[in-house]
Every structure is written in C-alpha cells, then in structure tokens.
Amino acid sequence: MSEQNNTIKFRFGIPGFEFLTKFKIADIEGYAPFRVLKSTEEPDMSMLILDVNLIQMSTDIKIPKKDLKKIRINGSDTGMAVYAILKYDKDSQSFTANLKAPIVINSAEHLGQQVILDDNGLTVNYPLNLV
C-alpha cells in the first residue's frame, strides 16, 4: 500500500485539532493490541487507541447513520473500524477509554471521523478491561 493510500482523511479534523485532517494508524511493536493514531501534518500529535471490540463493556456503541454517511458508510459495517482514544492516569496507574467519542474509520475509503455520542451509558473515562 502506498504512502498516500495509508493516509486517513478526517474532513472535519478531530475536536480540538480541527486543523489536522490527515492521520495514519500504526501498530506499536511489542504492545499489541494498542495502536497509535498519528497526524501526518503535525509529527508531535498522536493518540493511543484501541479497537472497541477488545474492551469489555455492558453497553454497545451505536454510531448514528447520519455520522456514518459523512464517511461514506451506508448500512453495512464492512470495512468499518471503531476505536476508543485511551488516557493514562498516573495516580491509579491505569488506562481509561473514551467511549463517548469514538474514532470511526471507513477503511475502504480511507475516511475517518470522531463521533460525539449522545448516550448516557457511555463515558469518557471508562476503566479499561481487555477481552
């Protein structure tokens, strides 16, 4: 896959970083299943992410159709990946996942978006328990 094809376009940026629209997802050698969402425009901008399917949670994450359409996903979730941004808490020495605002990727079209969900069952600081 060429350098261009690896780039995921976030047409609206990511909240707080609207000026950054091009990212890549990279594996972290020796730390699977954790991955990094890295800006190709700002080398110091990266976020630790994890596939939400690997997080034990009691509530399913449902992405509204209107948000899926923005990244050209219609009906089928084939080619769709959903990630949670992780945060490390130094005091408790543990990770939490932001389930309230997942990163949704259309792998086939190389499009992405962070979606803010209106679901009180989800939190921005969900204690991380891997499957």
DSSP-assigned states of every residue in 20-53: --EEEEEE-TTSTT-EEEEESS-TT-EEEEEEGG
Q: What is the pLDDT of residues 58-99, one digit of tens each?
A: 788 999 999 999 999 987 667 899 999 999 988 888 899 999
Q: Over the stretch 4-16, which tens digit does the pLDDT of each residue have? A: 458 999 999 999 9
- Do the Cβ atoms of 55 and 96 come closer than 8 Å? no
Give the three-class secondary structure for 116: coil
| Domains contained in the chain, CATH given | 3-127 (2.30.290.10)
pTM: 0.90
